[in-house]
Structure 1
Amino acid sequence: MTSIVALVTAIALLFGGSSPAAAQNAPDEGDSKSLRDVLEAASKGHIEAKAKLDNSKKRQGELTAQFDSVQARLTSLTAEVGVMAAESYRLGRLTSVTLLLNSASPENMLERAAGLEVMAQREGRNLQALAEAHEQAARAKAAIDNEVREQEKQVTIMARKKQDAQRALAAVSAGPSGGVVSANSAAANPAPRNSDGSWPSESCNVDDPTTSGCITPRTLHAMNQAKAAGFTKFVSCFRNGGSGEHPKGRACDFSAEAGGFKDRAATGDDRTYGNNLAGYYVNNADRLGVLYVIWFRQIWMPGVGWSSYNGGGSAAGDHTNHVHLSML
């Protein structure tokens, strides 16, 4: 029985299958908990600020359209009130005395009185509408100003989070790098967001198909989207203990080789596979909720871009044998 289990496991590893037993082969990436925590906080802060910035810009656009509409109505009402004022000035304001003196007959007096009432009502409605339009315009303008201030606030937060990330990366990075570019990446189906564009909080409550642990729904979605795009080599996500997002069910390691994690740097088609997969997740970061990507001595973070990465010299630590994906 033991030999059968061993044979099944070997076959699964040989053909790139992801099974609960595969969790034992997840690489030790060697990062410190403090580094991972800072990277997580910096990336998450940037992503949340960007979502608020995008939502504010959308709201500003809606308010601007509303303001323009009110301004057009103000122009029209101002013109109408101006015409009525000019007419009143030209003919003179009718009073009850002038109405009686200028009436040739009782019938004529009643007719003029009715006309006077209609004019007064019309003038009153226009003046009231004009006043309301002025108030609406003022409210819309104040709301637009508030959105501009909100955008300035979020831009400041994004800049601060970028500095946090750069300070944290200083321990493992020599600075910006050329990165990985994959111009032909397929567009992933977006992961669900809240109505305001922010990312919903998720817990590790979905069975991880690559281990016996759990992952978040967003992590599962990101993995399945990559598989649908043709990235079907060996994957391992949940990992007990250690630092970073693996124990939280928010990270996956994608081997560059089909048979599992090898203690060697990827070359040839395997390296191309890793390049394309890393590029896929970077290009779809905003759709999927990607926190950061590490591959072949380089790390990508939103707001920072690609930076060099020194993981200690091993294939696992330098991530030259696998692509690391961390999720919100």
Structure 2
Amino acid sequence: MAVASSAVRLNPARASSPRHGWAVAATAMLLLLAAAPAQAEPKPTVKQLKKELTALQKDSDKLITEYYNSRIAHQKAESAEKSAKEKLAAAQEVYDRHSTELRAMAVARYIGGDPGAMALLAGGQDPATLLSRMALTQHVIDEEEAVLRGYAEVRDARGRAEQEAADRAEELERTVGDLEERKEKAEKQIEKIKDRIDLLYTAPGIRRPDGTWVPQLPQGADNITPRMALVKKLIQERFEVPYGIGCYRAIQDGGEHPLGRACDFMLSRGGAFPSAAEQKRGDQISAWAIKNAKRLGIMYVIYRQRIWHVRTGVWRTMSDRGGATANHYDHPHISVY
């Protein structure tokens, strides 16, 4: 607006022009629009979320079907590869046996010599004996030729079995890659569905203007508040917690457990250090709690000797309390308002 005013003062004649007046008004309107804060995107309604979930579910079913078909193809490729390996092993055994026989035949001929027909005729023996020895020699030659032909067939069969095994191994490797790709797509789609389902839930109770929530009384057999019960339910459904969930305890230690506003989601039993897979589960639970903290009334998360508070939005290292459980290495702790 200051720019427009100075333009009017510098040139009064132009300011009196109707066209110039429209230009000044348009400029002022543009400046006001540019200065106005961007409107926040409205939160989706339950109806919109359910509509999105229907579409996501449809896509998910398609991806799962494709994944299933890939699993069948992979299983067939595994079976074919196994069969090809067995054929190759059998062909190799026959090939080795024939190779041994062929080497033995070659050694025998080298040691015994091969006199031939002319050498037999020069021996001064009677014709009947000569004919008999010549026939025997021809029989040996025929046997050797049969062995050689058999060896060639065995060798060729082994080569075919070897090629088939290589082809089946390549096919199996290809189906493994396809299977993993389709599995990843299906898992991502399922995660999208879970994320949209989360948005259908909002923490019960009254939220103050400063972002905190009015306290609630514990209720039910497990003595936890409705807010904590909702967080517990959503985590159980999304992640499963096979080693148990500990919430209310009567010991007054200054925390939220005695107030029914905290739960521990165990990753192992008896204070044992969790496996790599369970540590990953703990990371996922903690990340989910942080992502949904403001909407579900989560106040802070403790995991692996660190604490994340909704007010700061960052992880801070905690002092060493000794032991996997005391330092929260075997469980994420979640407290709600």
TM-score tier after normalising by the smaller chain length: 0.3 to 0.5
Larger radius of gyration: 2
Q: Which structure: greater helix fraction?
A: 2
The TM-score with structure 2 as length reference comes to 0.42
The answer to which structure, 1 or 2, has the higher relative contact order (CA under 8 A, 6+ apart) is 1
The TM-score with structure 1 as length reference comes to 0.43
